[in-house]
Amino acid sequence: MNALSLVRLVLDLPRRRNAASAETTWVSMPDGVRLATTVYRPDGVERAPTVLMRTPYGSTRWRTPMFLFAQLFAEAGLAAVLQDVRGRYASEGSFVPFVNEAADGAATIDWVRDQPWFGGRLGLAGFSYLGYTAWAAQAQRPDAVDAVAVGIGTSDLYASFYPGGAFSLEVALRWAAGVGERESLAERDVDFERAVGFRPIRGADRVAARERTFFRDWLDHPRRDDYWEGFRPRLTKTPATLLVAGWYDFFLGPQLDDYATLLANPEAGPVRLVVGPWTHGRYLKRRRSPRARWFAREAAREMLAFFERHLLEHGDGDGGVGARILPVGEETWQEHASWPPEEAEPLRLHLRSGGKAGGLGGDGRLAAESPGVDEPADVFTADPSDPVPSLGGALIGPGGAVDQRPAEARSDVLVYTGEPLASDLLLAGPVRCELWVASGAPDGDFTAKLVDVSPDGAALNLAEGVTRARWRNGDATPSWLEPDVATRLDIDLWSIAARVRAGHRLRLEIAASSFPRFDRNPNSRDDPSRAEQGLAARQSVYHDAEHPSILTLTRLP
């Protein structure tokens, strides 16, 4: 049994027609650099609609998902073009992430349209970095592309690297080190554990493998500036689009923003959104779940159906829109007209305590009632030398839903827990936290984590966000905290769909770090990427009548 047959069996995909033998060629860019390109053509089809996929991970490596997708597309009657991006694997030139993908993608689109086997309709597809290459090329040739399918990826890289103003250290460092020079490094060849603890983090890339100039470029641009905007494709005139996302994926927030942008754009084609309880490309396995679906299975089925509809024109060309959602804790997919569902409504819960919310044994609680009288603030010490560890969540490494009790046992984690639910609660939409804080330092991070607590005490994370105080106003220059002055912060925990069962409780954790998902804040005016040391700082969270701290969820009636 060959690799494709095995994949088809595992993913429960039907056999369609056999793919023709692949043909490898070179595509010349305007500057003379040649990119290695492999074309898969369906048997017996002289001219076929085509799907283009551009990858930095090796176009001929059979274990890569897009190599297998190319053959599945060919089986369905589509020509598939798989190309190594500039400077990667067999392609010539130097690889600088993101910078050349728009121009090179546009030139490759022009080449595809000139081929005698091109059937007149073109789609772009890819996951993660490949999804970005699809958006970058489409923005350059909007009239030449008939469909775009992007999985676990986004057009907005700044929002992915700096959510809430903090640097996505784990994601950025793992990827920058693992991508290697021309070919990706094996995990055993990257010393991530030693590197992630190295300070200043500008040297962490060298400790992990070797110096990466682009990693240091990311650190040099902590604000949305011309650097990031220079390779941000604009979603203006767009074709039919499929977006596949994961509740525990580090691209989730920006990808849902892409979805909202497309829905609001009168020039955009029909849009379909699919979201499941996945990390970056991995389904969160649930035991004893006969209907559980792997990420690859759902993504393959959705992409095949999408391109059959919009490139082969099988079925209603305007069909397949809306949002297909699998909530965390559910076994059945839901179909909605859009996301969040129109019938969803806000649920506001207030942070309450007697001033002793630190740790699991504290008195913090979540309540529907607002504080009618003054309540003492909860105070803890944020020490950059001993950050709160990231447990699961939106990571490249082991992520997803993980028991949070080891973190909640710390005195520098504030824990607010609601009463047991009388009936199931179906969360479906954005999660936000309005937090009134004060600090003895000029800067600090505040993280918020939504947790589902089962009757046996297990506490599984659902959503997480951060705000770096210096960037709380969204300005290009820092807004420093005044010592011990109450200040409002808004923390975006992105979105979640989850069924919280009757008898379970909702919990909100507030802390000053989640490391290494986010880089350490030195609690000073120093550049976090250059700081070798940090200052322990006294942090306060208010929840009184004048300063109500509120968690806002979105639920279905």
| Contact (Cβ atoms closer than 8 angstroms) between residue 310 and residue 146 | yes
Q: Which residues is 467 bridged to in the sheet?
A: 446
Q: Which residues is 325 bridged to in the sheet?
A: 275, 334
| DSSP reduced 3-state for 299 | helix
- Token output for 465: 């966000």
List the catalytic residue out of 280, 310, 336, 543: 280
Residue whose C-alpha is closest to residue 96's, from 48, 126, 138, 56:
56
Based on the residue annotation, tell me whether 249 is a catalytic residue of this protein. yes
Query: Pseudo-torsion of CA 103, 84, 145, 123, nearest 10°?
Result: -170
- The residue ranges of DSSP E strands in 277-404, in sequence order, are 322-325, 334-336, 345-352, 365-367, 378-382
Residues in the chain: 557
Residue whose C-alpha is closest to residue 126's, from 101, 162, 163, 158:
101
Query: What angle is formed at CA 403 by the lines to CA 398 and CA 407, rounded to 5 degrees?
Result: 95
Question: Which amino acid, 132?
Answer: Y
Over the range 319-350, which residues count as b (16 or more CB within 10 Å of their CB) and which as e?
ebbbbbbbbbbbeeeeebeebbbeebeeeebb
Based on the residue annotation, tell me whether 128 is a catalytic residue of this protein. yes
Query: What is the residue whose two structure tokens read 């969160």?
Result: 284
Q: How far is CA 227 from CA 40, 136, 218, 380, in A?
A: 36, 15, 9, 37
Q: Report the half-sphere exposure of 128 (CA within 13 A, side-chain side).
A: 16
Cα dihedral sign for 292, 296, 302, 308? negative
List the catalytic residue out of 59, 128, 160, 184: 128
List the catalytic residue out of 249, 258, 412, 445: 249
β-bridge pairing 459-468 and 425-439: unpaired
| Contact (Cβ atoms closer than 8 angstroms) between residue 495 and residue 256 | yes
User: How many other β-carbons are positioned within 10 Å of the β-carbon of residue 305?
Assistant: 17
Q: How many helices (H) and strands (E) does the chain have?
A: 13, 21
Query: What is the residue whose two structure tokens read 């990858």?
Result: 55
Helix, strand, coil abundance in the chain, percent, nearest 5: 25, 30, 50
User: How many other β-carbons are positioned within 10 Å of the β-carbon of residue 409?
Assistant: 12
Distance between CA 485 and CA 488 in Å, rounded? Answer: 10
- Token output for 6: 């095995």
Based on the residue annotation, tell me whether 114 is a catalytic residue of this protein. no
Q: Catalytic residues, which ones?
A: 128, 249, 280
